[in-house]
Chains A and B, each alone.
Chain A
Amino acid sequence: MRQTLLLSSRALRESVRTPEALFPTLFIPLFFLVVNVGQAGKIFPGTSTAFLHGQGYAGFQLPSSLLLGASFGSAALFLVEDIEGGYFDRLRATPISRTALVLSRLLAESVKALLLTAVLVAISLLLGVRVASGIGGFLLILLLNAAWAVVYAGFMQLIALKTRSGAATQSGGLVFFPLLFLTPSFVPRTMLTRPMEIAASCNPVTYIMEALRTLVLGHVDWGSVGLGFAVVAGLGVVMLALNLRMIRNYD
């Protein structure tokens, strides 16, 4: 645990020193939030759209943007730099637990995601969004989104450890496209066309998005919040197990 913390703080220091990698994770989600609201805000006026529960369309879009911000997998991009630059071998030659090697970057990723999510939500308040579930709901939003960031970074780390190539890891990151867009990102799932609904229902991100959404829009549906957390926990366990297996067999 001590080793994990040591390496995590190094990873955070690294991020602070690479602001150019941090800015897109903030601006791209904000860009999509503003653009999507600009495009569809008039079609779905808050006063007469039932699924908005009285909020503006921005409240409906915020979860998509939060998830986008948490789907950069920067932990894996830094990891693959360590691998390509040889520093990873130096760390592997020290008597630290193999778990710490993969866990430390994920821990740092969760800290970054908590901060990023808090900032994104704060900015969205300026755009008129209200977190209807209150401060407790806000904390759950932070937790859920950060957990997703860890799952996603864990997945990207698998690619990094397997391919050991920056280019391959970066293109592996393109899976965020289907993951984030085969979801009910513009309208609730019940309003999707049938094929799209099936695709969205098979996509685990849908359940995380719906959980975030019910926390933002109010009339909290605890069933869907629970489902969101269950999905992220399940995926988290799988990613952790696969990461550990990968590092144990790393040659």
Chain B
Amino acid sequence: MTWAVEAEGLRKTYPGRTGEVEAVRGVDLHVRAGEVFGFLGPNGAGKSTTVRMLTTLLTITAGRATIAGTDVAKDPDGVRRKIGVALQEAGLDPRQTGRELLTLQARLYGSTAAEAKDVAQAQLELVDLVESGDRRIKEYSGGMKRRLDLASALVHEPEVLFLDEPTTGLDPASRITIWEEVRRINARGTTVFLTTQYLEEADQLCDRLAIIDGGTIVLEGTPSDLKADLRERKQLSEEPTLDDVFLDATGRTRTRVAGEVAEVQA
């Protein structure tokens, strides 16, 4: 079987002023075609670095990765045609209108002017931005920018969609809108690889997830399996939440986190 995303021993070392920073230290990933895969981890765990390597934006220090059978390092353009990317910081051009941005994006993937026009319209409809489509992006709200960013990752109907913290900074209603869009995209057959800080989001959306901490994967499985495992291991009387799984896996207990917070307050 070809995996939608496959990585083996993925590493990234950044050159830093005070020596090298090992941001990702040997990550293995196996994402099935058609699933929504969650990539969780605390700040600085290496989520964005992993996504940037998988999406050809960052060179791979060691290890190897393929997207739907295409090697990221050997055939980056082949990979670029198969993936859509919405990074942690929305990558938009404030001086274009939403429609212009989507049209240009479609044309860069090879659409003709006429095709691109239709694609832009369809994408604006998908993310509910038709009314603001002809306004400059600098006038958009944060939520609108996120949605446009998502739409521009989809113009070429990618096989695999990478979303790095798609809902960070959004209000609860906008967050739910994005979730619905992700579900709809996934229902069309697109594999989704998403990173998030919100465990509820992972619980809601993801078929399977991996937790990364300090550059290595510490836990992997379906949300319900991970919860059941923890319950059995800790002999808990009630079903744990994904929060509990996350805190347990990253070696952060509730009391310790509470203690740190108290220290900060003191």
Interface on A for B, CB 8 Å cutoff? Answer: 3, 6-7, 10, 13-14, 17-18, 82, 85-96, 251
Contacts and interface: CB of A to CB of B under 8 A. Distances in A.
Interface of B: 55-59, 77-78, 80-81, 83, 85, 87, 89-96, 100, 104-105, 107-109, 136, 152
Contacts of A18: 95
Contact of A85 (B55, B80, B93, B136): B93
A14 B77 CA distance: 27
Q: Which of A7, A82, A86 has the most CB of B within 10 A?
A: A86
Contact of A90 (B58, B77, B85): B85
Contacts of A91: 108
Given A3-B108, A13-B96, A85-B94, A95 B81 contact: yes
A85 B77 contact: no
Contacts of B77: 95
Contacts, number: 66
Contacts of A87: 91-93
Given A13-B96, A17-B95, A82-B93, A89 B108 contact: no
B80 A86 contact: no
B80 A94 contact: yes
B96 A89 contact: no
A251 B59 contact: yes
Contact of B108 (A6, A13, A14, A251): A6
Contacts of B91: 85-90
A95 B95 CA distance: 23
A18 B96 CA distance: 11
28 contacts: A7-B104, A10-B93, A13-B95, A13-B100, A18-B95, A82-B93, A85-B89, A85-B91, A85-B92, A85-B94, A86-B89, A86-B90, A87-B91, A87-B93, A89-B57, A89-B87, A90-B87, A90-B105, A92-B57, A93-B55, A93-B56, A94-B80, A94-B109, A95-B77, A95-B80, A95-B109, A96-B108, A251-B59
Contact of A10 (B59, B89, B96): B96
Nearest to A92: B57
Contacts of B83: 93
Q: Which 9 A-B pairs have the closest CB atoms?
A: A90-B91, A86-B91, A95-B80, A95-B77, A86-B89, A93-B85, A87-B93, A94-B108, A87-B91
Contact of B104 (A10, A17, A92, A95): A10
A87 B101 CA distance: 10
Q: Which of A14, A17, A93 has the most CB of B within 10 A?
A: A93
Contacts of B87: 86, 89-90
Contact of B107 (A6, A17, A88, A92): A6
A90 B59 contact: no
Contacts of B94: 85
Given A13-B96, A86-B91, A87-B93, A93 B104 contact: no
A94 B152 CA distance: 11
A62 B80 CA distance: 48
A97 to B, nearest CB: 8
Contact of B105 (A17, A85, A94, A251): A94
Given A13-B96, A85-B93, A88-B91, 6 more contacts: A7-B108, A10-B100, A13-B95, A82-B93, A89-B91, A93-B57
Contacts of B95: 13-14, 17-18
A90 B81 contact: no
A251 B58 contact: yes
B260 to A, nearest CB: 32
